[in-house]
Structure 1
Amino acid sequence: MQVHGDQTHKQEEKHQMENQCLAKKVPGFCSFRYGLAVVLHFCNIVIMAQRVCLNLTMVAMVNRTEPPHLPNGSAVERLDDGKGIVSTGQHEIWVKWAPPLERGRLTSMTLSGFVMGPFIVLLVSGFICDLLGWPMVFYIFGIFGCILSLCWFLLFYDDPKDHPYMSSREKAYITSSLPQQVSSRRQSLPIKAMLKSLPLWAIIINTFAFIWSNSLLVTYTPTFINTVLHVNIREVHSGFLFAPQNGLLSSLSYLLAYICGIVAGQLADFLLSRKIFSVANVRKLFSTLGILSPVIFIMCLLYLSSSFYSTIIFLTLANSTLSFSFCGQHINALDIAPSYYGFIKAVSALIGMIGGLISSAVAGLILNQDPENAWHKIFFLMSGINVTCITFYNVFAKGEIQDWAKETKNTRL
């Protein structure tokens, strides 16, 4: 058994070395796989821009002299549904398009679009509303969405081997780097094995902590600043329509989150390509940075912050460093179970959303019952959840395909 394991390991190392040699001959940023990531990046920007600008332009809508035609609740709901559909579909794409040594930068490039969208909207919507009127905000981002949709239908193919415009060298590089590529025939879900898989639970639990923290920070940051510093940040936030510097202040956390996500992707793949860390250790490293960094900055906020600007700095850092998780548990399912990547991400997102709802409800309950000590309780609860979840993740997370996720038949070599 040991001899067989050693031979398998040597074969994997040889295969990896061959792929690295081939990768040096294949175009990087001027390639179809990176072009696909760029298109998805801008798609995510537009999706979030359309979602965020609906709230921001509300100020301009209600300030009109004639009765405004406000979007109803179903319109907002449809925008949220669109974000969920696109983000879920993206996970399946990288199963066949992302070589293992490029997963970090490709996925972080696409996911970072979700934080770049609000940043752009906060900067430009005020100018558009003042110069062209608030309806033009929706027309402009809508036109961009239509253009990107057309590009997507023209350029995207389900499998890189079927793409008519890709070079044969790039096709060979992608397909050869995925030796256990799934076939078109779907297998039944190994539910029992999944329920017993601790590496899978590590991903799900850590996603719960991520969304708990993200929802809490995004939802209650204005309330915290208002109650602690007696500054109505909601007025500052909406004031971007009349003071561009306020829009810049409100968008700083999104800009820094974008930078953190891109840097994490590049660094993760660098560590893997140079064999500095294993896949499992890279995922653990960036999950730890993404889950524990907000805890550190929140503790600084509670005990070291003494002014409005220090509060803004710590809150910005707490919000933005969550993006390091883009190269952690967010793509770890692609490492351990590429055949079921989309399903795992959907389940993780569902459980995470439940965590987000619970975090908002619990925070509101604590604020109503004990306003004096509420923030210490809320942030210590968040910290406890994050530390517990990341500890579980670091103990049980894996970086190789699990036995229950391997195809026994119809495997394309």
Structure 2
Amino acid sequence: MNYKFWQRKKDTPKKKKTKTREWVDAIVFAVVAATIIRVFFIEAYTIPSGSMERSLLIGDFLFVSKVNYGARIPMTPVAFPFAHHTMPLTTSTKAYWDGVQWKYHRLPGLSKIKRNDVVVFNFPEGDTVAVENQEDSYYNLVRNLGREQVRSTFTIVDRPVDKRENFIKRCIAIPGDVISMSNGVAAVNSKPEPLKNTGMMPYRITFKSTEFNINMLTDIGLETGTMQQAGDANSYIANASPEMAEKLKALDFVASVELSPDPVGPEPGGVFPHDPKRAWNRDNFGPIKVPSKGWTVNIDSTTMPLYYRAIRTYEGNKVEQVNGVWYINDKPATTYTFKMDYYWMMGDNRHNSADSRYWGFVPEDHIVGKALFVWMSWDSAASFLHKIRWSRLFMGIH
């Protein structure tokens, strides 16, 4: 009797895999390997809007590192491979099952988020079905109809955090910083942070006469088709970078070039924190302190409009006010200590970006990764031979 029946006989011929089995094994291995790479190392993204121009252009394809800030463990682990929140070729069929939700955890990273890093993160305010994937459309509706009417009219889908739309912006302020903005110039900890040459703001361009060389404006990079007349026949408002503004000033037919921010006063539809007592707009707001893990804030009528959403929604507390007294988890509260770090994100194309100026802080559990470089850039509006922007291939993102 063979008492080692569990051991395979050496002379037993190995069963040969069928072609079908070989293909199945190869596909399963490829899917698992690619998923691990996407979740824990690096993932490809595309730029759908102009909110980061001129740093990133519509049609840029880029790689985002999960290693730099530490890979986030999937919070919705049961999901269809290579799909974000909807199944391929559909617009509403979910590509995940939210019956299983894991708490937020992140692996150790190479560094923390630094000021001016270009960061990919999940949209912190939820998604509006009517304007899905069009970040600026939602806020145009807010300006025209008012925030409350938009949110009561359209269906809001509260997806799991890691299944919300991916946004890409520049980190302007990190945890503990004080951010403000005056006449279109941001200041961090009272130090002005002028827009980089890759960013865009409206400028008032005054020409010496009504006749000027429009081709020279186009050569500088100005989108002349979007220029708007401003007051008199010689003046126009155009979106430009600081570098473009300096080139404009050097033209002999240009009289002056001046930054043209929104004047001080409330913006239609409101900006963060949507507090009627604060007459802020996208070019004039603050100061606001960005919460950091372990920071304790005094709770009162001044601070709660700024930190209410972070305390209630992002940190999962029950928050209510009864007879002028704030309660957190049914206990009277005069202070609150934050459990997470937060960030202030803004687009480089300042007047064409829905960002922290409208929805406030980005919590650390929404962070996806750091944008590294552009591996392909496709200009859909160009002619056939010029659709690939060759100069942008493998360009680092700064």
Q: Which has the higher Rg, Structure 1 or Structure 2? A: 2
TM-score by length of 1: 0.21
TM-score by length of 2: 0.22
Structure having the higher helix fraction is 1
The higher relative CO (CA closer than 8 Å, separation ≥ 6) is in 1
